[in-house]
Structure 1
Amino acid sequence: MFSVLLLLLVSPALAWIPIEDWESGNVTASEGDSGQCLCHVYLPDTTFPADRVEHMQQISKDMIIEVEIQMNKLVSYEAKLEVYLKDLSQLTLRVNMLESSTNKYIKLDFELLRIELREFEALVSQLKESLNVSSPLFDSLYTEIQNMTMIVNQLESYDKSNLEVIRIEFAKLQKKLEDCQQDQNFKPDMGNCNGTGIMSLSKPHVIQLNAHLSGSYVAGGWAKDSKPLRGYESMYVYGAHSTTRIYDFYLYSNYDKLILRTEFKRITCQIAWIGLGNNFAVRGHSIYYQRNTNEMCKNNVTTDRYDYRVISEASGSFSYAYYSNQFLDFAGDENGLWVMYASDTSKGKIIVAKLDEKAFGVENKWTTDVYKQLAGNAFMACGVMYATRSVDLTTEEIFYSLDTKTGEERHFSIPFQKFQEKYSYLDYNPTDQKLYMYNNGYYVSYNVKFN
């Protein structure tokens, strides 16, 4: 027999360790130098990790908050997804309708027909007035237009599947009008300046909101070429923004494309050629606009080539009453290309300058009696400058004219209705004798009646 000495190398905290931990491999035995038995017990860290537990609790709380945030996002995305899916289904339905048959009802088709019928009615009236005669042909055409309008309304209300019927009838009417215009016995008084000036304006013809479909795009304009190239007689140009800066122009081949917002070309101004002010004009397939306070800019639609000239006396202190930065106002009429501005020398009164289109420079100029800041806008027709001003919130008037041929000035009143109070653009076009207005983001036009 030999004596066994058991040495326990333990700490005083050993007493609370469960007995099963003694048997789990934390206890080892060995023989000492004197033959005694030595037991070695390996204990874990006896200090309780309170800081780690607190850290884990904080992480757990943060994770719970993050999960709630993500859940809320999922709920929001689900709601938006339902809206988008509904819009997509409606769009798909419309696309399928277009693909299946061109005879299906489309509301815009009826609206376009109404617009063109109104234009035909105005054209017949203009033909009759310009010839100052009574003819059974005019009466017949006018009756057909009225009947066509009734058919459009009836089809839209009761029989929306028979749009092709009215399209055929409409094509027949259009052919008759074309034949009427081409007949040598019927020559409308388009662009004829033998009268004594403007006598009246029609009621405003409100087309639609701008191509951006934005009510904030209040500064801008829309126009036709006052001296169009062959093949571009029906072209429209639009450019607008929420500020009086000019960044780009949109070109439409005809009226229908304008309504459908389908441009055949978009001209984005290079940084150095961004415009200021919105009273641009289109003439000879070039767009004339104001680049800086006194710089005239010209952009050729075909070549995208830019050019500019400086009118040194043009002042940046005088703009039209409704909008700022309208320092150079371009216009094209039966007699040529014009620009209107004010100077310190003229004490804020409008100066009319005739431009040489080839040299792109001032050819001649006249000083008017109109203080620019009191005028709503101005335009040229048959070499006569007309100025407008506000009467009330819904009424504007042409109150002044200057004939550049005779130098004669006149003060009078030709009132006309405004669509809304403020407008940033007013330009006459000699090819159709219409006044084009850009009123608070809407395309508006007037038929001009000369004396």
Structure 2
Amino acid sequence: MKRSLVLSLFQLFQLFQLITVTQSSADSCVCELINSQKPFPHDRLNTAKDEASRCNRNISLKMSADMDTLLLALDRRLPQIQSELSLLEVEDDRDLYGLLSLVVIENELLEITQILEKLNGSTEGHQRLTANTQQQIMHIKEELKDLQELDTMEVVKRQQANQRLKRDLDQCRNGLRTKAPTTSPPPGLCPYGRFMNVSGPRVFTAGEYPGSFKYGAWGRDPKPDPGKEHWYWMVPMASSNRYAHYVRRYSSLSSLIVGVSTPGNVMIHSSNPTTNTVQGPNVVMYGEALYYNCYNRDAVCRFNLTTKTISDLQLPRGTRFNNKANYCHLEECYPFTDLDLATDESGVWVIYTTNDNFGNLVLSKIEEGNPLKLGQTLQTSVYKQAVTNAFMACGVLYVTRYVNRDQEEIFYSLDTVTGDENFNVGIIFHKVLPNILALNYSPVDQMLHAYCDSTWCPTKSCLSKPPPLQPKSTNTANKLQM
């Protein structure tokens, strides 16, 4: 009986070695079993996991994004400075402002040098980090190989399988709740992406009228006539910081800096103010036409600089105008900024407020043609009088707020393709003067043109290249980097 019982126990516990068998009574026995296998070293596994986590923290996505930002800035600056040099070579300025042009180019070269220095420093640091991380990865790889041999019970293997199943289940659940990724490009076939950051002012000037015309706007035409690709425009509020009746043109940035206007003023009307003249500083130029808030009306006017004709677009009923919905911060409001016009790669947009949306921003696309028509319209959750400005870039609305006398923050965005709102953009940029009274993005050079208390300053914006569109069969949608 004892022999058959011992044989049965031996067959049942093949992984164990039978050391002793003692009989405790006539009809029972007690077996003492000792495991011949070494226990799995869970402490070594936890140490390997900690080392892998440290590697992930050391090499973060932010480091890669910072490097991409520097390379993108360099990619934008080099063609631009080449264009400015070519323009300077052919521009007949009769020694009026060639020196100022050279100062602007010198500033560009200084910024390019700073970018190269940052890139060199980043590259050296990344090389050292890569070497150290490679050693750690080799050590972790060897450690995991040893642990795999010790894992005879396949405990870790089953844990990994369970984790994969749990991850797949979570992705399946999330996939049922999330929207399908968009496969259409942003409006206007934008070749860039969303804002990564905004640099300090590249150049600023008081222009022809130092200290005069506190309110106004300036910029470049995203859709210029042939021969006017390098032209700039400026509209000062020539009456009561509220009205304007002409557009002033400049053949280059250098001529704008020193105040040499060619061909001079293009008159909307001989008197100011009157029917269809400009009210408020938030104006833009697009396709050789000026878009602005019509005098004393809740409507957008378009003044064609070639034909000198005016067409208008009535905004929805309940639109607030005549100083009832201005941009503001805690210390000041900007009068007659009820309607804000903006341009991007796709055309012209109008930013306004309505009673139906309780004073929150409303965004509408202005469709070209005759007559003008409102196209796509989106309502936001941003209260107009709690923000200081807004602009469009690559089909995305960006909204700014006052931080202090030296800084402004882009804190909000609205994607016109997906309708998604983001209140945590968090891009800070520096100002020359406390109040930015007009702010507009130029798709021509990816600049933000700011009019600040009678001073004009272009601020360089840095955008990211969008990732390739994801096929419909995938379960993930890549976001364009901010």
Tell me the TM-score range normalised by the shorter chain: 0.5 to 0.7
Name which of 439, 444, 454 aligns with 1:426: 439
Name which of 252, 255, 269 aligns with 1:254: 252
Partner of 2:275 in structure 1? 272
Any idea what the Cα deviations from partners look like across 1:247-266, whole Å, max 9, x if unmatched? Answer: 22101122222123222131
Superposition deviation, residue 387 in structure 1:
0.1
Partners in 2 of 1:285 and 1:121 — Cα distance? 34
Any idea what the Cα deviations from partners look like across 1:403-427, whole Å, max 9, x if unmatched? Answer: 0011111112101111111121000
Name which of 334, 350, 372 aligns with 2:345: 334
Partners in 1 of 2:245 and 2:114 — Cα distance? 39
Change (3 A) 1:446 1:397: same
Partners in 2 of 1:374 and 1:197 — Cα distance? 23
Name which of 383, 387, 392 aligns with 2:399: 387
Aligned residues: 288
Q: Trace 1:297-316 onto structure 2 (pairs within 5 A).
A: 297-313=301-317, 314-316=319-321
**Aligned 8 A contact 1:434 1:448 in 2:** yes
**Aligned 8 A contact 1:252 1:265 in 2:** yes
Name which of 374, 379, 394 aligns with 1:367: 379
Partner of 2:54 in structure 1? none
Structure 2 residue 408 is matched with structure 1 residue 406? no
* AA at the equivalent of 2:415: D
Structure 2 stretches lacking a partner, 5+ long = 1-91, 124-187, 465-482
Name which of 86, 91, 113 aligns with 2:102: 113
Change (3 A) 1:320 1:108: same
Partners in 1 of 2:93 and 2:462 — Cα distance? 39
Superposition deviation, residue 216 in structure 1:
3.4
Structure 1 stretches lacking a partner, 5+ long = 1-101, 135-190
**Aligned 8 A contact 1:206 1:442 in 2:** no
Deviating more after overlay: 420-429 vs 304-313: 304-313
* AA at the equivalent of 1:357: E
Any idea what the Cα deviations from partners look like across 1:135-189, whole Å, max 9, x if unmatched? Answer: xxxxxxxxxxxxxxxxxxxxxxxxxxxxxxxxxxxxxxxxxxxxxxxxxxxxxxx
Superposition deviation, residue 296 in structure 1:
0.7
Change (3 A) 1:103 1:405: closer
Name which of 265, 276, 286 aligns with 1:283: 286
**Aligned 8 A contact 1:352 1:367 in 2:** yes
Name which of 463, 472, 479 aligns with 1:450: 463
Any idea what the Cα deviations from partners look like across 1:228-287, whole Å, max 9, x if unmatched? Answer: 222111111101135121222101122222123222131223232221111111111111
Partners in 1 of 2:285 and 2:411 — Cα distance? 25
**Aligned 8 A contact 1:319 1:373 in 2:** yes
Structure 2 residue 325 is matched with structure 1 residue 318? yes
* AA at the equivalent of 1:305: T
Partners in 2 of 1:127 and 1:381 — Cα distance? 27
* SS of aligned partner of 1:309: strand
Partners in 2 of 1:436 and 1:344 — Cα distance? 30
* SS of aligned partner of 2:103: helix
Change (3 A) 1:282 1:107: closer
Identity value in percent: 30
Partner of 1:4 in structure 2? none
Any idea what the Cα deviations from partners look like across 1:362-420, whole Å, max 9, x if unmatched? Answer: 01100011111111100000010000001112110000000001111111210111111
Partner of 1:201 in structure 2? 198
**Aligned 8 A contact 1:293 1:327 in 2:** no
TM-score, with structure 2 as normaliser: 0.56
Any idea what the Cα deviations from partners look like across 1:57-79, whole Å, max 9, x if unmatched? Answer: xxxxxxxxxxxxxxxxxxxxxxx
Superposition deviation, residue 122 in structure 1:
5.8
**Aligned 8 A contact 2:97 2:255 in 1:** no
**Aligned 8 A contact 1:293 1:315 in 2:** no
* AA at the equivalent of 1:283: Y
Partner of 2:363 in structure 1? 352
Superposition deviation, residue 128 in structure 1:
13
**Aligned 8 A contact 1:374 1:389 in 2:** yes
**Aligned 8 A contact 1:426 1:437 in 2:** yes
Partner of 2:226 in structure 1? 230
Superposition deviation, residue 212 in structure 1:
2.4
Radius of gyration: which is bigger? Answer: 1
* SS of aligned partner of 2:255: helix
Partner of 1:185 in structure 2? none
Partners in 1 of 2:363 and 2:93 — Cα distance? 53
Change (3 A) 1:118 1:386: same
Partner of 2:429 in structure 1? 416
Change (3 A) 1:127 1:194: farther
Any idea what the Cα deviations from partners look like across 1:50-100, whole Å, max 9, x if unmatched? Answer: xxxxxxxxxxxxxxxxxxxxxxxxxxxxxxxxxxxxxxxxxxxxxxxxxxx
Partner of 1:244 in structure 2? 242
**Aligned 8 A contact 2:340 2:350 in 1:** yes
Q: Trace 1:89-168 onto structure 2 (pairs within 5 A).
A: 108-119=97-108
Partner of 2:48 in structure 1? none
Runs of 4+ aligned structure 1 residues displaced above 2 Å come to 106-112, 116-129, 191-196, 210-213
